[in-house]
Amino acid sequence: TFSFLRSFVGGKALTKEDMDKAVSSMREHLLRKNVAQEAANEILRTVEVSLIGHKTGTFESINNVVRAAVESAIRKILTPTSSLDLLREIHTKRTKGSRPYVISIVGVNGVGKSTNLSKICFFLLQNKFKVLIAACDTFRSGAVEQLRVHARNLKELSEREGGVVELYEKGYGKDAANIAKDAVTYAEQSGFDVVLIDTAGRRHNDQRLMSSLEKFAKFAMPDKIFMVGEALVGTDSVAQARNFNAAFGIGRRLDGFIISKCDTVGDMVRTCPLFNSQQCHTNNPG
């Protein structure tokens, strides 16, 4: 008859067994919300460890204790370890020398790289920067024309908003790293502030395409490399982030994630809390 009280622990030191039920229902909850199993397990493991021996207040339910601990663990994961103030960084770099600030966007196929690149461009134009978009997806049909349309629309906007935008394109079939390098050189000569480099989508388990990213990073020397991950993705998110993070050679990692298509998942989420990278943008429609 007192079984409902069992989930309350007045002033007792918590043991792992006390938490079992609350932890497994929390796991179920996270999985339903599309958190990768690997990530959910990792979060819950740290929470358990941190709570063992923890003295609860009177009539505090274990569920609440666990929930609060999970909440704060997730908050910690999502809080960037370094601050990201793109505008300030670009300004600083521009006052130091002639090389433009270079941002490249990477990710698996169809996640929204080119679209988000255009959104970032819009943001930079609003801040009156001179932006060069480099069309370095030389593989997927229509990739260059897609950016051409975006650049044309952005040009119209820039007439209203300020800033300057131009597209650097060399068609299809050529080596992306070379085009990226040439684009940066061109941008430097022509006084652009920022170069935004679009890249072809690639599977993170494709050795050949992933290894070409190392040369790409060497040639383009990006100040920032952002990976676009879509909110729709399932467990694969963890491996995507891990493999892209490791693809740029020794000493070069991802600088952040852009989470796209947040408007398509309702109340679900997708995070990859295994990296110390920051989530710099989330995308809602518009």
Partner 1 sequence: MVLADLGKRITSAVSNLTHSNVVDEKALDAMLKEICAALVEADVNIKLVANLRKSIRHTVNFKELGAGVNKKRLIQKAVFDELVKLVDPHNEPFKPKKGRSNVIMFVGLQGAGKTTSCTKLARYYQARGFKACLVCADTFRAGAFDQLKQNATKAKIPYYGTYTEVDPVKVARDGVEKFKKERFDIIIVDTSGRHQQERELFAEMVQIQAAVKPDQTIMVLDSSIGQAAEAQSKAFKESADFGAIIITKTDGHAAGGGAISAVAATRTPIVFIGTGEHLLDLERFQPQAFISKLLGMGDMAGLVEH
- What is the binding site for ligand GTP (CB under 6 A)? 107, 109-115, 137, 140, 143, 201, 203, 260-261, 263-264, 283
Rounded Cα distance, 65 and 51, in Å:
8
The partner in contact with residue 107, picked from ligand GTP, Mg ion, partner 1, none with C-beta cut-offs of 5 to 8 angstroms by kind, is ligand GTP
What is the end-to-end Cα distance of the chain in Å, rounded?
A: 55
Instruction: Identify the residue among 84, 157, 246, 265 touching partner 1 (CB under 8 A).
Output: 265
Residue 57 binds to partner 1 (criterion: CB under 8 A)? no
Supply the DSSP string of 62-122, one letter for each residue. HHHHHHHHHHHHHHHHHS-SS---HHHHHHHHHHH-SSPEEEEEE-STTSSHHHHHHHHHH
Rounded Cα distance, 47 and 157, in Å:
48
Residue 114 binds to Mg ion (criterion: CB under 5 A)? yes
On whether the CB atoms of residues 249 and 265 are closer than 8 A, the answer is no
Residue 270 binds to partner 1 (criterion: CB under 8 A)? yes
Rounded Cα distance, 238 and 69, in Å:
22
On whether the CB atoms of residues 129 and 100 are closer than 8 A, the answer is no
Rounded Cα distance, 282 and 261, in Å:
9
Both tokens of 25, joined, read 């229902």
The partner in contact with residue 283, picked from partner 1, Mg ion, ligand GTP, none with C-beta cut-offs of 5 to 8 angstroms by kind, is ligand GTP
Which range binds partner 1 by CB under 8 A, 50-58, 95-103, 236-244, 245-253? 236-244
Q: What's the chain's length in residues? A: 286
Which range binds partner 1 by CB under 8 A, 125-133, 148-156, 250-258, 271-279? 148-156
Residue 31 binds to partner 1 (criterion: CB under 8 A)? yes
The partner in contact with residue 236, picked from ligand GTP, Mg ion, partner 1, none with C-beta cut-offs of 5 to 8 angstroms by kind, is partner 1
Q: What is the pairing mode between strands 8-9 and 278-282? A: unpaired
Residues that bind partner 1 (rule: CB under 8 A) add up to a total of: 49
* Residue 201 CB, nearest approach to Mg ion (Å): 6
Residue 264 binds to partner 1 (criterion: CB under 8 A)? yes
Residue 239 binds to partner 1 (criterion: CB under 8 A)? yes
Binding region for partner 1 (CB under 8 A): 28, 31-34, 36-38, 108-112, 114, 139-150, 153, 203-206, 230-237, 239-240, 261, 263-266, 268, 270, 285
Binding region for Mg ion (CB under 5 A): 113-114
